[in-house]
C-alpha cells in the first residue's frame, strides 16, 4: 500500500512539474534566426508569422527576428542547430537548400540536428527577366540561350537551393546553358535584376508579386495557375515540363523539451485555420502549406534524398 501511495505521489509531482514548465514557457523573448537578408521570402514569412505565433503561445510571448545572411543560409541555420535547446532560439528552414548544404560542403549539422516544428510556405519558382534584356517571352529567352550558350546571366539566391534546382531542370529540359550569378539571398538578386545587372532571375512567386510591372515574369513552375497570379501561365501551358519550388518553415535545436515542443507545434498548427494569418500571407503572395512535427521531419528526409540524388548525377560545385 505504501508503494502505491509513493508511486502516486511521484506521478503527481511529475505531472505538476510538467504542467508548471508548460505554463511557464515562454518567460522571455524568443529569437528567430533567419539565414537570409531582410526583405527576402524567408524573412517575409518569419516576420508575418511571428505575431500569430505570439498570439497562440499566449502569456505575453514575444518573437524577435534576427537576420544572419551568408553561405546560402548555412550560417543562420548552423547557429540555430547549435543553440541551447530551451525553446528560446528557433530557426527558419528552407528546403531543399538546407539539406543541400550538407551535401555540397562541410556542415556542422545534419538531418538529426533539429526539432522539426512546422513547414509553413510552399512557394513555386518563377523565371523573370529584366525589362532591359528584351527577353519578354519564354520562347525569346530559350531562343537566345540556344544561340548563345552561357551568354545569359542568371541571378539567384544561392547554389544548391530551389532556384538552382529549377535552373538545372530548365537546362536539362531545353538543352541550354546559363551563367549563374549567386547572391546572398533573393532580395539582392531581385535588386540586381531590377537594375539590369543580370539578364534573368529565378526567384519565387512571393518575391516578384509586387514587381510584375517592373519585370518580365515568364511563367510559374506549378501544375496549376497560382491563386496569387492567375493571369500568369504555367510553364506546362507553354510546353515546358518545369515544376519546382521552395518550402519554408521553422525548426529548433534537437533535444527541445517535449512540453515546449508540443506548445510550439500547437501554435503553428493553428496558423492554417487563422483567416487573418492566411490573409496576411496572401497579401505577400506566400502560399501557405502547414506541415508539422514528424511529418515535417519526414518531408525533410525525403528532400535530402532528392538533393543527394541530383548531386550524384549533376554536382553543382
Which three cell numbers mark 60?
505575453
What pLDDT is attached to residue 18?
42
Are 65 and 35 in contact by the 8 Å Cβ rule? The answer is: no
Are 87 and 26 in contact by the 8 Å Cβ rule? The answer is: yes
What pLDDT is attached to residue 246?
86
pLDDT in tens, 265-293: 999 999 999 999 999 999 888 889 899 99
Query: 23: which residues sit within 8 A by CB, 6+ positions away?
Result: 59
Concatenating the DSSP letter of every residue in 187-209 gives: HHHHHHHHTTSSSEEEEEHHHHG
Widest CA span in the chain? 88
Nearest to 30 by CA among 84, 102, 99, 88: 88
What pLDDT is attached to residue 23?
56
Q: Measured between alpha carbons, how far is 81 from 170 in angstroms, rounded to an integer?
A: 33
What pLDDT is attached to residue 168?
87
| pLDDT lower than 70: segments of the chain | 1-23
Helix-then-strand count for the chain, H and E: 11, 10
Structural domains in the chain, sorted by start: 30-123+245-313 (3.40.190.150), 124-238 (3.40.190.10)
Query: What DSSP element (H or E) covers 77?
Result: helix 74-81
Alpha-carbon torsion 300, 303, 305, 308, what sign? negative
Which three cell numbers mark 3?
508503494
pLDDT in tens, 82-108: 999 999 999 999 998 899 889 988 999
Ranges assigned E (strand) in 186-273: 200-204, 215-220, 245-253
Residue keyed to cell 502505491: 4
Q: Rg of the chain over CA atoms, in angstroms?
A: 22
Global model pTM greater than 0.85: no
Amino acid at each position: 500500500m505504501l508503494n502505491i501511495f509513493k508511486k502516486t505521489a511521484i506521478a503527481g509531482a511529475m505531472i505538476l512539474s510538467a504542467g508548471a514548465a508548460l505554463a511557464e514557457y515562454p518567460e522571455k523573448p524568443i529569437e528567430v534566426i533567419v539565414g537570409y537578408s531582410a526583405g527576402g521570402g524567408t524573412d517575409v514569412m518569419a516576420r508575418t508569422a511571428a505575431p500569430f505565433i505570439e498570439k497562440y503561445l499566449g502569456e505575453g510571448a514575444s518573437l524577435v527576428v534576427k537576420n544572419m545572411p551568408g553561405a546560402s543560409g548555412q550560417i543562420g541555420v548552423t547557429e540555430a542547430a547549435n543553440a541551447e535547446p530551451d525553446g528560446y532560439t528557433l530557426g527558419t528552414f528552407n528546403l531543399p537548400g538546407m539539406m543541400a548544404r550538407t551535401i555540397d560542403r562541410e556542415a556542422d549539422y545534419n538531418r538529426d540536428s533539429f526539432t522539426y516544428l512546422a513547414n509553413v510556405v510552399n512557394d513555386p519558382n518563377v523565371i523573370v527577366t529584366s525589362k532591359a534584356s528584351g527577353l519578354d517571352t519564354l520562347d525569346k529567352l530559350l531562343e537566345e540561350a540556344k544561340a548563345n550558350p552561357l551568354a545569359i546571366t542568371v541571378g539567384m539566391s544561392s547554389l544548391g537551393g530551389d532556384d538552382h534546382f529549377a535552373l538545372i531542370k530548365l537546362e536539362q529540359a531545353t538543352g541550354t546553358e546559363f551563367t549563374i550569378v549567386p547572391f546572398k539571398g533573393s532580395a539582392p538578386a531581385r535588386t540586381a535584376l531590377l537594375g539590369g545587372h543580370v539578364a534573368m532571375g529565378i526567384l519565387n512567386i512571393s518575391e516578384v508579386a509586387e514587381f510584375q510591372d517592373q519585370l518580365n515574369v515568364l511563367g510559374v513552375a506549378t501544375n496549376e495557375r497560382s491563386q496569387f497570379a492567375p493571369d500568369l501561365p504555367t510553364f506546362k501551358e507553354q510546353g515546358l515540363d518545369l515544376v519546382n519550388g521552395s518550402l519554408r518553415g521553422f525548426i529548433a535545436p534537437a533535444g527541445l523539451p517535449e512540453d515546449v515542443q508540443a506548445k510550439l507545434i500547437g501554435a503553428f498548427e493553428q496558423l492554417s485555420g487563422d483567416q487573418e494569418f492566411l490573409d496576411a500571407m496572401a497579401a505577400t503572395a506566400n502560399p501557405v502549406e502547414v506541415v508539422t512535427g514528424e511529418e515535417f521531419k519526414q518531408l525533410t528526409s525525403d528532400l535530402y534524398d532528392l538533393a543527394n540524388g541530383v548531386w550524384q548525377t549533376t554536382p553543382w560545385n
